[in-house]
Chains A and B, each alone.
Chain A
């Protein structure tokens, strides 16, 4: 089964919201209500402590602008940066500041569960992976067989889930292999043309299937695109029939 969603963030309304005293603006780019991917765009107001939580699916957070600070692991992120977690892998508390702007990308609806919930703590994925890095910490490399194009890894090759940024001049076709477990292709700069539609930052395409999708083609001014590919963990978790899942789904609905 091939899945393909194209989202132009410019056409989605913003909503002001708050959860647990934390205020933010949010766009629901993909709701996940059809069993497909869930994509949210958050701009948190400065806050010293967003509560620790976890989602019930794999997650890419793509920090487009601003800062996030964590007590553990990679302690400081600035846009552009990536933060990946497996399903049921908690993170935080964390601070947000300096014009925070972030995409939260799930392969399916993931809900949200505060780690203040002691039952949730017993369902933490003990072998779960958490990875974070700043784009500024990796070097651009020439893209083989593509003049004037370059790429950089946001996650080390072979890690499992993959994150790579490709920068190309106008009218370049960005062909990628099939994404068995799903892939977000996020426009960071310039534009891409997909299905005859031109989308700019931070619009994206989500593809999943055993066949490669049509290549994205960069627009008149070229384009920079982040390719964020899930691995098998994307099949795990999700909003199933358990009570924790119901609570996670309700909490997410309340938040956004």
Chain B
């Protein structure tokens, strides 16, 4: 008798996010950690929060109300992610994110979307880079093992514009309204949540930590 061992497919984790959203940035470390510790396959899809933003970005409002909003955002992020907060550089303007969505499609086709996504978030939220500029995205491409010149060409030719737009439209069609929105297998989580919650959701669906899965 021949025995065959069937390996279960990794659980699909889909994250709808926008590079300009600070809570999406906070989710990057969590989802990357989840992929290291559990047998899951994350896929990051765009949800375009501010399609009205021009290519050059939008300066922050300078009103008492916006100052209070900024104070709140800092306080919340500090509480939600105290380890990440010290290295975050909150941008002075809202960046144009669609070009980064195009670049993400390019990275997906080259099998480096996970690395590229992390590099783009890092370059924006800790390096202060403007992701509305192709050269910023090309630098992120280089960090993630992609050919920056090839990406530059694809961005110049707008080779992935329609695909990125279709992805944004798909997010709206399925009712995504905020970021990050995460699908962990069957479970939808609206908004950022604690890592322990993501773990609990996976474990409830029978996904075990990698070392347990290997040992078992």
- Write out the residue numbers on chain A whose beta carbons fall within 8 Å of the beta carbon of B190: 72-73
Measured CB to CB, the closest approach of chain A to B177, in angstroms, equals 10
Let me know if A48 and B72 touch, CB within 8 A: yes
B68 within 8 A of A: yes
With contact pairs A72-B192, A122-B200 given, residues A95 and B72 touching in the complex (Cβ less than 8 Å): yes
Measured CB to CB, the closest approach of chain B to A54, in angstroms, equals 11
Let me know if B79 and A52 touch, CB within 8 A: yes
Contact with B along A120-151 (1 / 0, CB 8 A): 01101010000000000000000000000000
Q: Bound complex: CA of A71 vs CA of B201, how far in Å? A: 22
Measured CB to CB, the closest approach of chain A to B203, in angstroms, equals 10
A231 within 8 A of B: no
Let me know if A49 and B72 touch, CB within 8 A: yes
With contact pairs A71-B23, A93-B80, A122-B200 given, residues A48 and B194 touching in the complex (Cβ less than 8 Å): no
With contact pairs A72-B178, A73-B190, A115-B194 given, residues A49 and B75 touching in the complex (Cβ less than 8 Å): yes
Contact with B along A17-40 (1 / 0, CB 8 A): 000000000000000000000000
Let me know if B68 and A48 touch, CB within 8 A: yes
- Write out the residue numbers on chain A whose beta carbons fall within 8 Å of the beta carbon of B194: 115, 121, 124
A69 within 8 A of B: yes
Q: Bound complex: CA of A116 vs CA of B76, how far in Å? A: 13
B196 within 8 A of A: yes
- Write out the residue numbers on chain B whose beta carbons fall within 8 Å of the beta carbon of A115: 194
Q: Bound complex: CA of A72 vs CA of B192, how far in Å? A: 8
Q: Which of A73, A93, A118, A122 contacts B76 (CB 8 A)?
A: A93
Let me know if B75 and A48 touch, CB within 8 A: yes
A51 within 8 A of B: yes
A76-132 residues with Cβ-Cβ distance < 8 A to B are 93, 95, 97, 115-116, 118, 121-122, 124, 126
Measured CB to CB, the closest approach of chain A to B179, in angstroms, equals 10
- Write out the residue numbers on chain B whose beta carbons fall within 8 Å of the beta carbon of A121: 194-197
Q: Bound complex: CA of A52 vs CA of B192, how far in Å? A: 13
Q: Bound complex: CA of A73 vs CA of B76, how far in Å? A: 14
B76, B187, B201, B204: most-surrounded residue (chain A CB, <10 A):
B76
Let me know if B79 and A51 touch, CB within 8 A: yes
B209 within 8 A of A: no
- Write out the residue numbers on chain A whose beta carbons fall within 8 Å of the beta carbon of B197: 121, 124, 126
Q: Which of A69, A116, A118, A124 contacts B200 (CB 8 A)?
A: A124
Q: Which of B72, B192, B195 contacts A69 (CB 8 A)?
A: B72
Q: Bound complex: CA of A128 vs CA of B20, how far in Å? A: 29
Q: Bound complex: CA of A97 vs CA of B195, how far in Å? A: 30
Let me know if B80 and A52 touch, CB within 8 A: yes
Let me know if B204 and A71 touch, CB within 8 A: no
- Write out the residue numbers on chain A whose beta carbons fall within 8 Å of the beta carbon of B195: 121
A36-77 residues with Cβ-Cβ distance < 8 A to B are 48-49, 51-52, 69, 71-73
Q: Bound complex: CA of A72 vs CA of B200, how far in Å? A: 20
Let me know if B200 and A93 touch, CB within 8 A: no
Q: Bound complex: CA of A126 vs CA of B191, how far in Å? A: 14
What 7 new A-B contacts, CB under 8 Å, besides A115-B194, A121-B196, A121-B197? A48-B71, A48-B74, A93-B76, A93-B80, A97-B68, A118-B196, A122-B196
Which B residues are closer than 8 A to A by beta carbons? 23, 68, 71-76, 78-80, 178, 187, 190-192, 194-197, 200-201, 204
- Nearest 10 pairs between A and B by C-beta? A49-B75, A121-B196, A72-B191, A48-B75, A121-B194, A95-B72, A48-B72, A48-B71, A93-B79, A93-B76
